[in-house]
Structure 1
């Protein structure tokens, strides 16, 4: 028996073995290796890639907002979610999918603020939809324990009706995959699944995080989609918009930017933490025939405050246009 196929001897080996079976050994080794290296840097006071990993950052930002008299308002804003409605006009959409509704949730950071999670659960409860998709960032931090995030995601799964398809974001550990899948989330890790409705199909693809881990693979996710099939791609970040558009995807759903979260009056983001044009930072957009939507997300990061950028859950409706 080779070393790669040996029987796992401890919890870490068991996890790596299960992930290797699920994702393939290269993907599992790459993602786990980068996570371990990064966590060693965080705990060793090395380099970091997110503001929340600067120990003083949340307190400093909160202090400045309180000094300006904006903290309480911003916190209340973060718990007051909108339901946004968007239409994708797809002339080749199969007739059975006319009016098909997709509930889009992203950047939930479920262990960040219990009041926000409760607001999400309350907001989605009365909504009507045919399918739910989630585009990453379920954990508060980019490192450390996953139990709090998994607990919140379990409660969310209980509130979601029907199938729930998900991808991981840069805040999410690959260690969360078995737990999320055991809850009933369908993780799309550079994978595609056909979605059947009344005897016809569209194709739902999803890629692993393209922002920090760079483990996305659009080819692997999309190679088996028929050339004339309508495709929907889930990505945590909009940063791969250009390559996705040229790969031929019809619809691109993402998050990551939080729409800026703390914006200037008029919703002008101070930063989007994303290497993409600013017009892709929030809402509907188009590129090379592909239609996209960047949700500002339901949760918050660093501090549970939003200014001039309300959180949302999104209902996307697929249509062939005027009949």
Structure 2
């Protein structure tokens, strides 16, 4: 239902694009008809990419997901740039006020100029963002000082990966590259913090299979998209591949004869599926330093109250498409990187994949290696 509403909104906003890019820039009925048909086809592709995959399946969705999602990104930046260009358009309104053929020519010139500027800029932004999204994730390394960390845990490294988003756009090769890059960092532990796939195990189990080749012990928790894709079958499949599920629970990670508590909670979306997070249960009987896996950064508020030393999260994609960073920041305590809430460190990875358009602007994909160090 939500995606259907979004689809209707996308169609409605295409009317604005039609006014600015077709009606205002054409003189003949034939040119207007051609522009209307082209824009209409793109609008339908965008809505199809948003709404249809869950009804027609991943294999069928591949045919329209690529053009639909890429157009959705271009559409977003066209809207943004044309909205900004409304200001000079209004300022020049008197200059283009119709009182003769010359004034009409000026109006047409300005409309076409705005269309060309917005179109060229949008295509350039989306092109660069596509290269960023589809290229190899950056490997980020960050040291986190943990008060009271046992000496034997100094330098313990956790590879953090999130938001892989297997689906009609990204498949097995995407997973293989991520697994290879993680193994090359030689971490002591791998933490997967949600949103592995946008589809069922039957559709995408083969694409996820390379996760079984992760060399370090790997622990995972659910993200919101697991609940949209059938979370229980995915949990069963990942456990079959040798990954360890932390379902509102914790375990002791032993290293150099010392240990710390690794805990994990389900995503807040799980409440709708009778599988909500229970942080008190997850942190029961914790001992020593405590690292928590929680998909959404917003869960850090309770974690800080319960004395967690470090929370590892994803979900935000780092904003994915600027300026969505500001929208995400309104809903989450952090968008990307390392920050602190009270005495609890929060690290948010940008994630290794994308949701929707395979485009990242101002938020390159990453795999993060978090190194524990002693702190005050």
- When normalised by structure 2's length, the TM-score is 0.65
Tell me which residue corresponds to 1:14: none
Aligned-pair CA distance for 1:212: 5.8
Q: Distance in 2 between matches of 1:182 and 1:122?
A: 20
CA contact (8 A) 2:313 2:347 kept: yes
| Inter-partner Cα distance in structure 2 for 1:310 and 1:246 | 32
Q: Does 1:290 align with 2:349?
A: no
Name the counterpart of 2:127: 72
What's the secondary structure of 1:90's corresponding residue? strand
Contact 2:158/2:188 (<8 A) preserved: yes
Pick from 284, 292, 298 the counterpart of residue 233 of structure 1: 292
Structure 1 unaligned runs (5+)?
1-40
Alignment of 1:1-323 (within 5 A): 53-54=50-51, 58=69, 60-64=71-75, 67=119, 68-69=122-123, 70-80=125-135, 81-111=137-167, 112-114=169-171, 116-140=174-198, 144-158=199-213, 160-172=214-226, 173-211=231-269, 213=271, 215-226=276-287, 229-264=288-323, 269-272=325-328, 275-277=331-333, 280-321=334-375
* Structure 1 vs Structure 2 CA RMSD: 2.7
SS of structure 2 residue aligned to 1:272: helix
- The structure showing larger relative contact order (alpha-carbon pairs under 8 Å, at least 6 residues apart) is 1
Deviation at 1:116, TM superposition (A): 4.0
Cα deviation per residue 1:182-218 (whole Å; 9 max; x = unaligned)? 1101010101010011221100000011146460110
**1:319 deviation in Å?**
0.8
Question: Going by fraction, where is helix more abundant, 1 or 2?
Answer: 2
Tell me if the contact between 2:217 and 2:243 (Cα under 8 Å) persists in the aligned partners: yes
- The structure having more radius of gyration, on CA atoms, is 2
Q: TM-score, normalised by structure 1?
A: 0.75
